[in-house]
Chains A and B, each alone.
Chain A
Amino acid sequence: GENVEQHPSTLSVQEGDSAVIKCTYSDSASNYFPWYKQELGKRPQLIIDIRSNVGEKKDQRIAVTLNKTAKHFSLHITETQPEDSAVYFCAATRGSNDYKLSFGAGTTVTVRA
């Protein structure tokens, strides 16, 4: 099955700096890669996603890049703000009637004011 590894496990950044989280996956058939943000006591919230036919996608301060050859994808948060503090999870799935999400272990991001 799919194995998703996520690094780092914790990340502390100064407000205004950038944060980068990296994930690798093992199943070459995976073609959809979402990122979820989970604040303490809340549900995971889909913040951005990318499909395998796209190399990069951006939404305001967040962006995701995908390298299918190397089987890794990354989340980039620019101009971090205190409200960006949360646990971030990457995931991968084949899609196409197989929507099982395989998650990374999560990255706890702390933005220091």
Chain B
Amino acid sequence: KAGVTQTPRYLIKTRGQQVTLSCSPISGHRSVSWYQQTPGQGLQFLFEYFSETQRNKGNFPGRFSGRQFSNSRSEMNVSTLELGDSALYLCASSRPSYEQYFGPGTRLTVT
């Protein structure tokens, strides 16, 4: 079974721009969660989607948003990028069940 995939893998943007990241979960998995990983803050939960509905949200500003499509693929969007948004963005898929499996991440650099 193919694992979680994320596109693009690397992205460079400038401050003030917006960005959209994509995540395709493992086939049959219907829950997708997004996490931000930085050296300073570690792994932090952004939000979780199940059946196209956001079920849970972390403590991030409204510039961070997401959505899920009927095929369970998910996108997250960050508007008005700031330097501090530079991070590895990871998505994780689940059936849903307790076990979450991560994708390779998208490395976002904001200059």
Q: Interface on A for B, CB 8 Å cutoff?
A: 32, 34, 36, 42-46, 49, 51, 89, 91, 93, 95, 97-106
Known A95-B98, A99-B56, A99-B96; contact A44-B33, beta-carbon cutoff 8 A? no
List residues of chain B with CB within 8 A of the CB of A32.
Answer: 98
Q: How large is the interface on B (under 10, 10 to 19, 20 to 34, 35 or more residues)?
A: 20 to 34
- A45 engages B42 (CB within 8 Å): no
Q: Interface on B for A, CB 8 Å cutoff?
A: 4, 31, 33, 35, 42-45, 48, 55-56, 58, 90, 92, 94, 96, 98-105
- Which residue, A34, A93, A101, has most C-beta atoms of chain B within 10 A? A101
B48 contacts which of A51, A100, A102 (Cβ < 8 Å)? A100
List residues of chain A with CB within 8 A of the CB of B92.
Answer: 101
List residues of chain A with CB within 8 A of the CB of B58.
Answer: 100
B43 contacts which of A45, A51, A89 (Cβ < 8 Å)? A89
- B103 engages A43 (CB within 8 Å): yes
- B102 engages A99 (CB within 8 Å): no
- A43 engages B104 (CB within 8 Å): yes
- B43 engages A97 (CB within 8 Å): no
Q: State the CA gap A96–B1 with chains docked (Å).
A: 25
- A49 engages B104 (CB within 8 Å): no
- B55 engages A97 (CB within 8 Å): yes
Q: In the complex, which residue of chain B has the Cβ closest to the Cβ of A89?
A: B43
- A43 engages B105 (CB within 8 Å): yes
A46 contacts which of B31, B44, B48, B101 (Cβ < 8 Å)? B101
